[in-house]
Every structure is written in C-alpha cells, then in structure tokens.
Structure 1
C-alpha cells in the first residue's frame, strides 16, 4: 500500500497517513510531517536544555490566558510572552508570535511532541518550534537555571520597525522568528544577565493568577470576598477593575447586614456607592448599626431600577415615595420594626397603578389600615400584618372590597378586638388560598361560643384555601377543625401547634376529634404540625395514616404520644420524608425499626428528628443510605409543652424577684447605677428615640 493514491499523481492520502502516524508515533523523538519525519531535539546545538518554545500561526485577538490554557496541560509554565504587531489607524494590534517557557525541559519536549490537533486555538493549529540557544534560559554547571528578572523591562518595549510578517512555510517562519526574536524577545542571554547582575528565583512565576484561573473560578472566589474589599481593590489594575465590575453586575441579592463585619460605618453615602455598582433584584436593608437617613429611599429608587424585592428592618424613615418613581418593577415590600412608618408612608406605594404584589408590615404601632381604603390596587395578592396593635378591623373590612385579587392574608399577633371581625373579613374572601391567624392567646374579650360559631361558619366559605396556620391560637377548637375537614378539601398544609397547650386551662382547644376529622376529610394534606397539644393522644394522631400524600409530620413536645402512631404512618404514607417528635418523652427506638421496614417496602429519603426522646444513639440505621436519625438538635420549646410550669413567678414562691427589688434599701441605685444613663435636656428627638429603642450608633 502506498502513502499516495497513485504513483503518477503523487497525491497525499490523509487516511493512510493517520494509520502510519499512530504506528510510528511511539518511536521516540520524532515528529511526523505531511511529507516525512523530523527529529525533535531535547537540547540546542550548544547543549542547552530546551525550555522556551517559539509559537506561530496565532489567530487574531489571542490573549496570554488563551495561550496559557493551550500549553498548561504539558507542565508548569514559567512565562508566556506575546508579541503584538503594530497598531495602525483604526486598526487593532494583532499578535504575530509568542514565546512559551517551561520550568522543566521535559515538559517543553512533551509540548513539542504533542500532535497538532491538541495545540489548536480558535480553529488554528499552533506551530511550535524550539527557540534558539541565545533565547533559552542559562543553566549553571550545578544545574541551577538563571531566569531573567521580572524587573528588567528593557526588551519588553520593541521598536515598531522590528515587527515582521510570518510566512506559512515552517522553514521560513523559523528563520524569520530567529532574526526577529533577537531584538524583541523579553528574555536576555546569559551574558546580558551576568552584566546586569539581576537574578530571579526559580519559584517566582512571570504570570499572575488572572492568567491561570478562568472567569468562572475567579467569580466563585469573589463570592468569599466582601463587596467593600472588592470595590477598594479596583485600583490594582485596569484588567482587575473590569473583572470586578463584571462580577458586581452579576450580583442580584444584597443585604446590608453583611456590612456589620466591616470596620466602616454604613451610611447613606456609602450605600449609594455600593448600589451604583450593582444590578440588584433583591435588597434587604437590615443593618443593625446603620446610620442611614431619609435619603436612603432616594438612593434605592435611583440606583435600583430593576429591584423586585425590598425588605426594610429598623429604619426611622417616614417618606418612601421615591420607590414609586424609581423602582417600577417592585413586587415584594416588607417593613419590619419601622417605628415611624404610617399610613401616609404607604398610601403612594399601593396606589392603583402600583406593581406591588406582596406587602408585609410587622412590629408597628402607627399603621391602622387606612392606606388601603379608597384605592384599588389590582396587583396586590398578599397582605400580611404581624404585631400591629393599631390595626383597625373596620378599615380592613372596608378595604377588602377593593382587593379582588387577594389570595394570601396574614393577621398574626394583632389586637384581640380584631378577632371579632375576622369572620366578616373571611366571608368576603372566598378566593383565599393562604390564611394565617396565629398567636392569639388572650381570653378576656372575645371567648364566647357565638363568636366561635361565626368563625366556623366563615371557614366554610374558604373552598380554595391550601394553607392554614393557626399556631398558638386558643380560639381554634375541634369544631373549627371539623368545619375545615368538610369545606377545605384542597388543603395542603395545616399548622395547629400549641392551640391550648395547657392541661390546667378550662377551655378545651384541639384534641383527638379535631385531628381525626382533618385527617379523614383533607386527603390532599402534605404537611401537618400537631405540636404542643395537651389533649392529643395516640388514637387521634393515628388518623394521619389515612393521608396518602403526607410528607412531613410534626408533633413536638407531646409527652402523651408513643411510637405507635408514627409507625402506622410510616407503613401507610409512602411519601413521608420528615418526622419531628423532639421532646416526646415516650418515643422509643421502635420508631427506627418501623422506619427501616418502611424503607424496604417504599425506598425514599427519610429524616427522623428524635432529640429529647428516650431514643439513644441509634445503631440500627448505621450504614443505611436513605435513613437519617438526628438525636442532637432538639427543636422542642420547653415553654410550649403542656406540662411546663413557670417556677419564677408562681404564687407559692417566697423568694420572688420583684419582692427582692422592692425591698432593696436603695432601689433607684440598684436599677440605675450610672448617672450617664439619663439623657441630657438638650438632646434632640432622634437621640431620645435611639435611647428608648436601644439603638446604638457607631
């Protein structure tokens, strides 16, 4: 078989050439060219080991990083130098040739031996040749290499007249490269290095980390660096500045609480400079020691046009109207512990053409709900109030009619008088999908049977509800849960934890009848929280086995429960993935055995939280890949347990803490031992508010 197609034509056959190439390639220091073979030496003619390679046929716009990435697989690269051509009028400078220097001659030999298809950049096969002797690093008799010092820049600036045009022929390219590199190569000869008296250590590379790591690695590293440090490091170099700007543009979430670990006071001016460099979608202004003023809202509205979520915690700003003019895409807005927030502050944020969909106000004493009346915010779908003592039920009833798209309502820890009007509110929200009425524990005002009947009747109107949260609500009874079982057929999540968690309390609360009714009527239930219920027994919780879609079952702090109802749920509920019985004293290790048997029938990942129970360190589940047993993290709150007794302020206590304080001889000195705690008369209103709210400014 001939290497050519015919004896007369003498055309090269590439298929036969590839077969011969594979067979002959392992001979040794041989490079197979299209028309023959060429030896690849390991030393120059003067006996100097070849460490530096001459590279040609570079594509336009080649960078050092790209060239480094091509030759890095063959070994450690000492330096990578790129010769750029002349820059003409309206024309960018293009690379002409490059020098790649390896620390080890063997690595350079591997790069020369590598086939051409491995040394490809942007569709071009890079041509590599050994550099001449006077370009190779000098080597002493003891084998120590003398590298050219990085501080010597004499040869880095080449005259524009020395640029050359590279030919396609390998031989002519080599000759031209040898002639041009003698004038433009940045490394000096052995004699030049001796005359200058400058030497560089072998361990000091001539490239930076920007040349080694790609953009994804650098972006991942930047996530561990505070934003303040990145901004301050922009002056390092222009290339680093561009990279930092590009990374900052990818940040979508920023919390000012991250600034608390920085020894620089966060002011509005500092926040303005940070927001100017970011393109945020979510912003949380929750810095605990901030010095932000009323101009903060202007800075957010100006520099965050793409903002979709804003959470403000502990600010004393009253005017938030600039958000309306700047943040046109704002959908989620939350004000937590903003003591100066009033209805006038919110009236422009939820006007008719507003884009707000989720509004939350928590820990406030000024908002009454008046801002919702007279408006028609069609996009508002979620409304949440927590611990708002000035909230008026009559205003909420009047505002519900103007909220046709409201699907989420949360009235948690609100005034007890509001509970009387809750049935009237629920009757107008037949499309409600999520309802939260938690933390109602006072019985002095509205604990009447008639009110409970009205609330049960209002629950029957919620045909579309999917999530109910009645945590720590003593007005929830078995009758309410029976109505939930009859009406709320689409219910997915139910939280009835701590609904009357005291054994001594005369009001019945939630027991076995209510839990059994819910488990029998709500077949779509996926999450059930029945923690801290004084009247819950094994018979009532055993009904959870009738829920085919149950995924999470929580029953913390119930001392009357055993492992039997949970074992039945594990055997019947094939989607169950999380069981939390922290603080249940009577839970034994039989629950682990039941979990192992259930996983053999229906394999899935299962987590058992058994801290605070009678289960010790489990041995049955050792080596089980699907079962996780946690006996260390106790999530049970002892104050919510049915058997909790307050030993500090009980009536039988003879050593009351209050009595000790009152009987103290110098009561005032006992409480206020430092006169500096009192404010001076010339303090302004802001200082007085800072004192009463315990805010420290640094």
Structure 2
C-alpha cells in the first residue's frame, strides 16, 4: 500500500483494518513489492508471531512513514484509571544514549522526558522511562511492543505503574516533574516483573476491576492516610514496599517545621545519630528546627549535622548543647537564610564563636541568648542582619562598653530589647542604651540589677515610641521614675511592675504607684507582690483606667473587697483580673463582678482568678455566661512582701527538732534525724579526730572534759558496729 493510500485509509474504521495493515507490512518486508491481500495470500491468525525483529526495525527506520501517518489508537489506562503517558523500556544495551532513545521513539509524538539508568541486576543492560505529552502517542508505542536499536538489539515497551505516571490536576494541569531519586529506587520492581517473560503482554482490553486492598488506592489517598500517622510510624512505612517508601519520602519532603518539644518526642531521648536520620529525610525542606529540649544526648557534632542537612533553615532553637570549635561558623556558612537563632544554656560559648557566625547570617532578625556566661556583648558588633528583636537573658558577663557599640549598629532596625538579670550594667548604662537605640517599642529590664541606682532608669522616659515595658523584680523602680514614665511614654500599653521597688530601702510608695493610672493608653498592668498595692491604688485605677483589659494583683496582702469591687464595676473592658494569693478578698468581689458583667453592653467576658483567697466556691456558669471564676492560685509565696523564710532559717529561740518535724510533715517524708546526732562520734567519727569539736558541743551536761575519753574507750566496738550497719 502506498503512502497516499495510507493517508486515504485513515478514515477506514473496519474491525480488520489493523490486521490489513500488518499484512501489507509483511508483504513489503518479504520484498514482494505488493501487499499480500492483492496476491491472494490468506490471512494468518497469529500475525504478531511473525519475525518481530525485522518488522520493528523496518517500522523504526522506514522513511516512507511519519508519525502523522500513523492512526491514533485508543487511550490506554492503568488499573486505577490513570492515562498512560510514561512507558518503561527494558533490555536496553549499555551503549545506547539518551539522544538515540529520542530518535527511536520521537517519531511517535512529543517526548517530555527520557530517564535512562543502569539496571541493578545486570550492569550490561539499561532501563528507561519515557514520558509522552499525549497518551495517544504512548498507546502507539505500546501497540508496537518490540523495538530495535541501531545494532539490532531488541527493546520492550511496557506501561509504567500508576505511581510513575504524571499527575493530572482537577483543572487539567499536568505535573511533569518527578523525583529522580525516588524514580531510580522504584525501578527494581519494574525489572523484577520483566524477568519472567521476554516480551510481556500489554493490557489492551477493558480495564479490570481495581484491587480492593489498601495498596490499590492511588497516591493521593495513601498520602492522606499517612498524614494521620506519627513521625515514628511514617519512618516504619518505608519498610513495607518500594511504593510506600517513595510515598514516605514525599511525606517527609512536605514537612517544613520539625519541633522536638511537641508531645511525640517528649518521651524519647534524642541523640545525634537519631536526629541525623530525621534530617536525612526532611532536612532540605525544613525552615524551622526546635531542639530546645532538656532530655537529650546530643554531642558536639549536632550543629554540624544540622548545618549539613538543613541549608534552607530559617529558625533554629537549641538548648544545652555542647558546641564544637568553629561549629557556629560552619552553621552560618551552610545556613545563610537563618532569620531566628535562639541559644539557651550552651556551655563553652564566647564572643569569638558568635563573631564567626553572625556576619554570615544576612537575614537574621531575631537573636536570643540565654544563660550564656561567656558573652560580654562584643559579638554584637559583627551583626550584619536586620535584627529587630534582641534578647539577652541571664548573661552575667555583659559589659556596657561592649554592649552599646553593638546596639548602635542595630539602631535603625532594633525595636525590641531584653536585658534580664544583667548584673554588670552600671548606673549610666541606661542613658547610653537609650541614646544608642532611641526607636525601641519594647524594653525588658526584669530581675534585680544591683549596680543600678535610684535614678538610673529615668532615661527610659526618653523612649517616646515605647509601648511595652517590663520591670519585674527591678529594685531601681521609684516614684520619680514612674512620674517620668507617665510624662514621657504616652503610648505605653503594657507595664509590668511586679515585685519592683523592693530591696533594703523601698523606693516606691502608694502615691507613686497611683500615678500609673494617668497613662491614657494603658491596657495591661501587673502590680503583683507590691507592698504598696492597696485599695487606694485600685480606686485610682478604677476612676481613670477605664481601658484596662488585664490587671494582675497576685500576692498583695493589703488588697480588700473595697478596692477590687470598684475595679470590676467601673472597668467595662476588663477581661482578666488576677487576685491570686490576696488573703483579704472574699465573695463581695465575686458578687460585684456578677452584677457588673450582667449589665455590660460590649459583651466582653471577664475571667476572675481568686485562688488563695477567702472565696471557696465559684458561681455556676449558666447564671452569668460572660463571667468565669477560677479558683486556681497562681501566686508564688516566696515573692510575697510578707513572706518570712522561717523554713530554712528558724528563730534562735525555737526548737530545731520541732522545726525539722514540721518540715518533714509538710513535705511528706519520714525523718528520724536528731540535731543532737551532730555531736555523736559514733555516727561521724572523722569529725572528732582533732581535739576541738567542729560542730560545737550540744550536750546538756556541764562537765564535758572526759566526754571524748569515754568515746575513745570503746572506739573499736563502735567502729565494728558502724561498719556492719554500712554493709547492711
């Protein structure tokens, strides 16, 4: 049949049209020059059993036919209904290259991708995955089945499994890109299936009934099921089969945040090799890694492992990890996208280590260093990123002369600064800090600062943009400072004065604390553990602080129902009122809160915490839905202004044994110890080797001159008895 007849016969839809074309091919291959039908040759029943090698070579190398001349076949599908675009080609010579595969199969249609790899079972053979743009083109190749390369070696075409096929979205978009690593791992199953027959059969008939087992589900369904598994179970899924292993890797690559402080990891004792196994699977895609856990066995190579597998990391939090020399420099070089870095209680860290990392983190905007004794602040000069939040918690070696130059370098971007428990700050430190970073909106100077004088904090009033100020347990808070804050910081919304103004001399008075009510935009106020917090202060807040939303008054012994009732009645926006540990608060405050909440027009709920007070029961929620009464005591007894530490320092006129019995009864332990035993040489013989007692003589008798002589007389017997007791 000529090419023109071939084109004219494209509209021929008779059932035997394919056999007729095969017969014409056979006639042409035999060199007869005419189709067998014209020569009267009978139609053979098994035409495909004819010499497939010569037939395939003729079709591939023939110049008479083009891909446009071939009739389109029906679209074939996998067993789960996915159109076949990707084919698996096996038994390929090791000498064949990708361009030759394009030449052999490119005439059937547009090829999107050709993946060529060496067979795992036989190094002399290759396999290939060929992806066509149209499933009709792939169907033409499947109809041919057998092909030959330039040297006459047979190649067999099969339909790739459904999990290798390109993904077709609901909107018609096709995702062509595949994971080559997973594709290479999954080719083993294709090769094993191919070893049973030299020319496997291709499914051309109707689609069979899908498998009802779990493995019969498509990838999307399995991925949805896997999403309900824990991290440990996902790791176990890899052992089921090659397909599940590939899906497990896809699950890991979808993980962008790995937090080891969440419940699935709390029962595990993490080690560096265990962490490495997790990061091998998901490290490339991680943007957040939280290692701030207390129960772990991380070694000095942990940071090296993190830097090796997490190049796209943006947030890193570490706690109590020993760092090797230059490990932070390696981290900064391998993780240049780091935006948040939190380091807590990491020993042997100094400014030199951080100076090698900070210049490489050009996107760093959050830096927190806690319980690091070797940091003086010199490393902050090397910060190159736009740091907006700097926290230095419990860094006792911070020096003002090193800290201020670093703050000056961050002055354009820094808006939040925390200097908690920094004992080395001098009296003039605040003036220099305020000058270096005048645009601060959040400042925390909590815990005691022994070197700060009475007027050391007055410079804070120059921060006109300040909205959040934390002075918890800061002894330098005084009346003059609060007056300056009210006049200078007009935009202040959050103020924490809990336990401040204490020490040997109280710098804070009732009148000074009442000045706080003049801050117009104040929303959140904490005056817990203040001796001067009384009804006068609460009445002042009730009259002027109508915008208050949170008010904490924990452990204030001078507060009564008189002041608290006015607060809940006049502050209609109040959402939280904490009176934990206020002994003189009773049901009158609760009743005032119920009455006030009932008449509220803004529907703002109120939570009243009255644990540790005279309130013994809470009203039912059904009566006042907007009111919640919590009986939890959130106060800390040792922070109360009336706290007397007689537990460990008993008065001189008290009986030590009675105090010890009281302590044992309180903590729930049985103790037979007697303070008189301290002078018993039978229990502590090493303390009586010299002539003078180390603990003093607590004997009731006045004559103690021969006491040691009596002990020495039976010393051997006592030693033997003590040794027997020790062995038992």
Matched with 2:340 is 332
> Post-superposition shift, 1:321?
0.9
Distance 1:591 1:322, change over 3 A: same
- Measure the CA separation in 2 of the matches of 1:123 and 1:388: 57
Q: Is the 8 A contact 1:413 1:438 kept in 2?
A: yes
> Post-superposition shift, 1:233?
2.8
> Post-superposition shift, 1:577?
1.3
- Measure the CA separation in 2 of the matches of 1:362 and 1:286: 12
Q: Is the 8 A contact 2:496 2:527 kept in 1?
A: yes
SS state at 1:435 partner: strand
SS state at 2:394 partner: strand
Matched with 1:294 is 300
In structure 2, runs of 5+ residues without a counterpart are: 1-73, 84-138, 146-156, 163-168, 173-196, 661-673, 688-728
Matched with 2:235 is 231
Matched with 1:348 is 356
Which aligned pairs between 1:281-430 and structure 2 lie closer than 5 A?
A: 281-318=287-324, 319=326, 320-351=328-359, 354-373=362-381, 375=382, 377=384, 379-404=386-411, 405-430=413-438
Distance 1:550 1:251, change over 3 A: farther
SS state at 1:240 partner: helix
1:648-678 CA-partner distances (Å, limit 9, x unpaired)? 21453552989889757566999xxxxxxxx
> Post-superposition shift, 1:425?
1.9
Matched with 1:596 is 594
The TM-score with structure 2 as length reference comes to 0.60
Matched with 2:629 is 629
1:30-74 CA-partner distances (Å, limit 9, x unpaired)? xxxxxxxxxxxxxxxxxxxxxxxxxxx9995673899xxxxxxxx
**Mean CA deviation greater in 523-532 or 643-652:** 643-652
- Measure the CA separation in 1 of the matches of 2:266 and 2:684: 41
SS state at 1:498 partner: coil
Q: Is the 8 A contact 2:332 2:361 kept in 1?
A: no
Matched with 1:147 is none
The structure whose Rg is larger is 2
- Measure the CA separation in 2 of the matches of 1:462 and 1:418: 19
The TM-score with structure 1 as length reference comes to 0.62
1:534-564 CA-partner distances (Å, limit 9, x unpaired)? 1111111223232343221111111211234
Matched with 2:564 is 566
Matched with 1:531 is 528
- Measure the CA separation in 2 of the matches of 1:536 and 1:264: 46
> Post-superposition shift, 1:499?
1.3
- Measure the CA separation in 2 of the matches of 1:409 and 1:185: 66
Residue 240 in 1 paired to residue 244 in 2?
A: yes
Which aligned pairs between 1:515-526 and structure 2 lie closer than 5 A?
A: 515-520=513-518, 522-526=519-523
> Post-superposition shift, 1:391?
1.5
- Measure the CA separation in 1 of the matches of 2:462 and 2:238: 60
> Post-superposition shift, 1:240?
2.9
Matched with 2:644 is 645
- Measure the CA separation in 1 of the matches of 2:243 and 2:686: 63
Q: Is the 8 A contact 2:80 2:218 kept in 1?
A: no
Q: Is the 8 A contact 2:466 2:491 kept in 1?
A: yes
- Measure the CA separation in 1 of the matches of 2:279 and 2:485: 48
Q: Is the 8 A contact 2:547 2:573 kept in 1?
A: yes
SS state at 1:321 partner: helix
Q: Is the 8 A contact 2:554 2:581 kept in 1?
A: yes
1:233-252 CA-partner distances (Å, limit 9, x unpaired)? 31113343333333323333
1:397-450 CA-partner distances (Å, limit 9, x unpaired)? 2333222222222111122554552333223321111111111064xx55xxxx
Which aligned pairs between 1:74-89 and structure 2 lie closer than 5 A?
A: none
Which aligned pairs between 1:47-86 and structure 2 lie closer than 5 A?
A: 63=80
Of 442, 445, 453, the residue aligned with 2:455 is 453
Matched with 1:484 is 485
**Mean CA deviation greater in 406-415 or 543-552:** 543-552
> Post-superposition shift, 1:361?
1.4
SS state at 1:401 partner: helix
Distance 1:629 1:344, change over 3 A: same
Q: Is the 8 A contact 1:537 1:560 kept in 2?
A: yes
1:70-125 CA-partner distances (Å, limit 9, x unpaired)? xxxxxxxxxxxxxxx99666785799xxxxxxxxxxxxxxxxxxxxxxxxx9899x
Q: Is the 8 A contact 2:256 2:288 kept in 1?
A: yes
Which aligned pairs between 1:574-593 and structure 2 lie closer than 5 A?
A: 574-593=572-591
- Measure the CA separation in 2 of the matches of 1:60 and 1:440: 74
RCO greater where, 1 or 2, for CA within 8 Å and sep 6 or more?
1
**Mean CA deviation greater in 415-424 or 652-661:** 652-661
1:367-424 CA-partner distances (Å, limit 9, x unpaired)? 1112123x36351222221221222122112333222222222111122554552333
Q: Report how many aligned residue pairs link the two structures.
A: 491
Q: Is the 8 A contact 2:557 2:582 kept in 1?
A: yes
Distance 1:185 1:628, change over 3 A: closer
SS state at 1:439 partner: coil
- Measure the CA separation in 1 of the matches of 2:587 and 2:81: 63
- Measure the CA separation in 2 of the matches of 1:123 and 1:305: 34
Distance 1:316 1:589, change over 3 A: same
